[in-house]
Amino acid sequence: MTQKFLKSMLAEESRAYGFTISFWGSGAVLVNTFGVPNTPLALMYGLGAVTGFGMLAVNSFGGVTTEVQEEKSNYMALGTIHYLASLLPIIIAGFIARHLSAPSAFFIGGLSVSLLYNILAVLEEDISELLHRA
């Protein structure tokens, strides 16, 4: 495996791996608290996640009928690691699980993971840019 290929793989996978860690970790916290969810609770988690993602998409693109043009961006290696984006949603899921009923916890848990992961990933990229300039 060449260095160039490894760099390419890491850059392409960084968002997906962080997203997976935050979703699986948050789900594991909810399952630990409430047990394995039945279908309605699993749907609540999914509905919350899709709602959070939709909120970000509508806000970012300016509406639901806006044409999406994908832009390739350059970013710092530090911005691919995702300590905050991957781990903070899991901590928040623990707080949610302790303070809400199962249906609310699964919905708000899914919603918060979508929102927090994406917002914190942007913050991490901003931090890496600031460190790069310093």
Which of the residue ranges 16-25, 33-42, 99-108 would you say has the lowest mean pLDDT? 16-25
Cα angle 4, 73, 8 (rounded to 5 degrees) comes to 15
How would DSSP label each residue in 81-122?
T-HHHHHHHHHHHHHHHHHS-HHHHHHHHHHHHHHHHHHHHH
| Higher pLDDT among residues 74 and 81, named by residue | 81
pLDDT at position 29, please? 98
Give residue 121's identity as a one-letter amino acid code: A
Closest Cα partner for 82 from 9, 6, 13, 7?
Answer: 13
Whether residue 45 has pLDDT greater than 70: yes
